[in-house]
Amino acid sequence: MSPLPTYDVAVVGLGAMGSAALYQLARRGARAIGLDRFAPPHERGSSHGETRITRQAIGEGEAYVPLALRAHAIWRELEAATGETLLVEAGCLIISREDDQVERRARTGFIQRTIRAAERYGISHEVLNAAELAYRHPQFILRGDESAYFEPGAGYVLPERCIGAQIGEAERLGAQVRLGTVVERIVPEHGAVRIETSAGTLLAGEVIVSAGAWAGALLGGRFARLLEPQRQMLHWFAIEPDAVPLWERSPAYIWPHGESLDDFFYGFPALHGSASLKTANEQYDALVDPNDFDRVVSAAESRAMFEANLKGRLRGIRPDVVRSATCLYTVTPDSAFLIDRHPEAPRILVVSPCSGHGFKHSAAIGEAAAEIAITGRSTVDLSAFAVSRFDTAGGTPSTGANG
């Protein structure tokens, strides 16, 4: 029997996180292989739909800021290496009522927390009152009691291009890539990990599991409960011809409004020539099986999005939907990332940073994952994302990989 193919590190899932990890492993000269059930960039996971907001002062928690800062630097390096545009500094506005204290998952007091993070890390920003906001950004229809945080170095990244560039660079630097290959089981053995796939078995010294919405089912045990796939929707609405220039010049924006958790949406500038505006809100009661859920956004769902959020707030936007898509969040109980060694199988590194705000950090998370797999530790402190934060007194026992 011929020996199994053997690698220093295997990366399971080549979306936002896995493509970044594979690129960073290859840069460091590791014998690395990346496996994906589809052919990233694809439209079946969490990383499609043209754009993702990026910011550097992270109101979800200051532990994220070093990741965001590093990710921007890596994207600029990748742009220089590939000649691709990956990051557009269109700026980002967070619009909110000054006294907004609505309980929002990881985003209660979002503006104030963002301002504190910007001040602490010296991130360039402005705080605008409603009059300044209305004067500078007439595309927004305001009530008059809003204020806004504006970060000029924020904006958006182009997710499909980021993933494609990182996989391309990883291969150029010697990493192996196996697409259309489903990882079925990950089994720790003496001194290695056996990876059973739809196209045979291989061995690796370390495994990075960056399987996005599929990670919970693949890892099993407590991870199946901690990593919940949730269906999300993206909508592109038509812009009135006169308003197109206004929206092409717009920054990205995040706008919690009203008194309920659902009173929240965000959006992007109109991409040049598209005459359409991409916006989304968030669902936290739409648990799905990533292999079997309704991938079509209904006309009623887009209409509800327009009525609840856009109507009366965005100037020159028509209710006509020109495109829509579903996408998956992988949500943890506290909406924060989970990046840690598997408690029972330390050669398995679980990299599950979604909960709706992961892309902006992905280049840096891939680097940190590669550092851990190769040297045992990362430059950026990831302790805030440890699985042990979910341990309860008396303990919910972990059942381990495939357990």
Region of 8-16, 116-124, 381-389, 390-398 interacting with ligand FAD (CB under 6 A):
8-16
**CB 167 within 8 Å of CB 82:** no
Q: Which of 70, 125, 137, 357 binds ligand FAD (CB under 6 A)?
A: 357
Q: Which of 8, 28, 38, 132 binds ligand FAD (CB under 6 A)?
A: 38
Query: What single-letter amino acid sits at 122?
Result: G
Q: Which residue is nearest to ligand FAD (CB)?
A: 15
**3-class state of residue 9 by DSSP:** strand
Which residues, numbered 176-205, are part of the site for ligand FAD (CB under 6 A)?
A: 182-183
Which residues, numbered 314-353, are part of the site for ligand FAD (CB under 6 A)?
A: 327-329, 353
Kindly state whether residue 370 participates in binding ligand FAD, applying the rule CB under 6 A: no
Min CB(13)–ligand FAD separation in Å: 3
Structure letter (DSSP) for residue 306: I
Q: Which of 67, 87, 270, 280 binds ligand FAD (CB under 6 A)?
A: 280
Kindly state whether residue 251 participates in binding ligand FAD, applying the rule CB under 6 A: no
**3-class state of residue 17 by DSSP:** helix
**CB 229 within 8 Å of CB 242:** no
Kindly state whether residue 209 participates in binding ligand FAD, applying the rule CB under 6 A: no
Min CB(360)–ligand FAD separation in Å: 4
Of 143 and 185, which CB lies nearer to ligand FAD in the complex structure? Answer: 185
Of 130 and 255, which CB lies nearer to ligand FAD in the complex structure? Answer: 255
DSSP β-ladder status, 6-12 and 200-209 = parallel
Of 55 and 347, which CB lies nearer to ligand FAD in the complex structure? Answer: 55
| 313 closest CA partner among 273, 356, 270, 253 | 253
**3-class state of residue 266 by DSSP:** strand
Phi, psi of 225 (to 5 degrees): -90, -30
Interface mask (CB under 6 A) for ligand FAD, residues 219-248, using x and -?
Answer: -------------x-x--------------
Phi, psi of 206 (to 5 degrees): -140, 150
Q: Which of 11, 32, 37, 251 binds ligand FAD (CB under 6 A)?
A: 37
Kindly state whether residue 210 participates in binding ligand FAD, applying the rule CB under 6 A: yes
Q: Which of 9, 24, 25, 45 binds ligand FAD (CB under 6 A)?
A: 45
Kindly state whether residue 52 participates in binding ligand FAD, applying the rule CB under 6 A: yes
**3-class state of residue 250 by DSSP:** coil
Structure letter (DSSP) for residue 15: S
**3-class state of residue 280 by DSSP:** strand
Query: What single-letter amino acid sits at 368?
Result: A
**CB 34 within 8 Å of CB 176:** yes
- C-alpha 296/C-alpha 49 separation (Å) is 14
For CA atoms 63, 268, 74, 178, give the dihedral sign: positive
Kindly state whether residue 13 participates in binding ligand FAD, applying the rule CB under 6 A: yes
Of 70 and 130, which CB lies nearer to ligand FAD in the complex structure? Answer: 70
Of 37 and 107, which CB lies nearer to ligand FAD in the complex structure? Answer: 37
For residue 146, what are the β-bridge partners?
97
List contacts with ligand FAD (CB under 6 A): 12-18, 35-38, 40, 45-47, 52-53, 182-183, 210-212, 214, 218, 232, 234, 280, 327-329, 353-354, 356-360
